Amino acid sequence: MKKFLLFTLKTLIFTIVIAVALDFIYTAIYLQSSNRGKVDHVYNSKKENFDVVILGSSRANNHFVAQMFEDKGLKTFNYGMSGGHLFEADLLLKLMLERHYKIKNVILEADLNLSNKRRDYGISSKFLPYLHQSETVKKHFSNEDDFLEMYYIPFYRYIKFDERIGFREFYNTTLKKSTNVLNHQGYYPLINRKGNMKNNIVNLKPLLHNQYYEEIKQICKDNNINFIAVMTPMCENTKGIEYFNKVQKLYPEIHNYENVVVEDKYFSSCGHLNDTGARLFTARILKDFFSK
């Protein structure tokens, strides 16, 4: 039995050593990456100056045509992330400021994402390789339920989110394969119709004080950044469209642009404008906020 316990101990030690070694290798590779996505792009960037930074979910990513801002002479990047919540938008902004970005305006898409203050498991995992390197990332995740295991168990975060930061992503990062996420200054145009032109958001309720929304607002205030929060368009056939009025009541400073583009021909799916729709919408934003 003693022999077996020693064998088991040896196996356990093996497992721990392998996990520590893998954790070290994966983290080292991710620390070198800057062309796979918006998170590593920001994390591994140096000081940048922007006239406009766009934050939010896919409803920011697919709706704000950064090039149209650039055409007006405004240095812009669309940091909207498909699937992202305000948790990730807030952290991304914090990382930018940690890297001494100079930002004049932040446009935040704040509408459907106000209904929760959870993190998006997929998008937020992109920050996890930096958990031990960045105090900002560590602090931001510190109140999460799974923080302790992610922080202290070697390689656990890469296992838990293997779909996003596991072997496949590690392999592509090692080969320095770039993605199309950073093309068009971060804007991702939707061309074809992909989804149904109907949506049901009856069960969504905007939270009274969304912690991450408030944090973004406060960060902008503290850093003299002009904060523009907007609601972006939904298709006409949306059940529970009064959600946007509720947002307006709770957060009067958020500009309601939900109905500035309405026709189905401008949508790729009910919650996402196609490229033509996005151009119409961006033109309106430029006119209202950047016409001077």
Partner 1 sequence: MFFNSLAFAIFLPIVFFLYWFVFNKTKSSQNALLIVASYYFYSCWDWRFLFLLVFSTFLDYYTGIRIEKSTNDKGRKFWFWLSIIINLGFLGIFKYYNFFSTSFAQMLTTVGFKASPILLDVVLPVGISFYTFHGLSYVIDIYFKRIKAEYNFVDYSLFVSYFPLLVAGPIERATHLLPEVKVKRTFDFNQAKEGVCQIIWGLVKKVVIADTCATYANAIFDNYSSMNSLSLILGGIYFAFQIYGDFSGYSDMALGMSKLFGLELLRNFNYPYFSRDIAEFWRRWHISLSSWFRDYLYIPLGGSKGSKAMQVRNVFIIFVVSGFWHGANWTYLAWGFLNAVYFLPLLLLNRNRSNIDEIKLNWNWDSVRTISSIVMTFCLSTIAWVFFRAKTITDACTYLKRIVVNREFTSQYLVNERYNYEILLMIGLFVLVEWNNRTRVEPISGKYNTVKLALAITAIIAFGTYSDYKEFIYFQF
> In the complex, which residues of this chain contact partner 1 (CB under 8 A)?
1, 3-4, 7-8, 10-11, 14-15, 18-19, 22, 155, 159-164, 166-168
Contact 193, 263 (CB under 8 A): no
List 53's β-bridge partners, or say none.
Answer: 77, 106
CB of 5 to partner 1, least distance (A): 10
Quick one: 18 or 262, whose CB is closer to partner 1? 18
Contact 110, 231 (CB under 8 A): yes
CB of 275 to partner 1, least distance (A): 21
CB of 9 to partner 1, least distance (A): 12
CB of 219 to partner 1, least distance (A): 31
CB of 188 to partner 1, least distance (A): 14
Distance of alpha carbon 105 from the chain centroid: 17
Quick one: 30 or 213, whose CB is closer to partner 1? 30
Quick one: 17 or 262, whose CB is closer to partner 1? 17
CB of 277 to partner 1, least distance (A): 24
98 closest CA partner among 39, 153, 148: 39
As a 3-state breakdown, the chain gives helix, strand, coil percent values, each rounded to 5, of 50, 10, 40
Residue 196 exposed, middle or buried by CB count within 10 Å (0-12, 13-18, 19+)? exposed
Quick one: 8 or 133, whose CB is closer to partner 1? 8
Joined together, the tokens standing for residue 291 give 């016409």
List, as one string, the DSSP characters of 75-135.
-EEE---TT--HHHHHHHHHHHHHTT-EEEEEEEE-SGGGG--PPPHHHHGGGGGGTTT-H
Quick one: 194 or 239, whose CB is closer to partner 1? 194
Quick one: 159 or 262, whose CB is closer to partner 1? 159
Any idea what DSSP says for residue 225? P
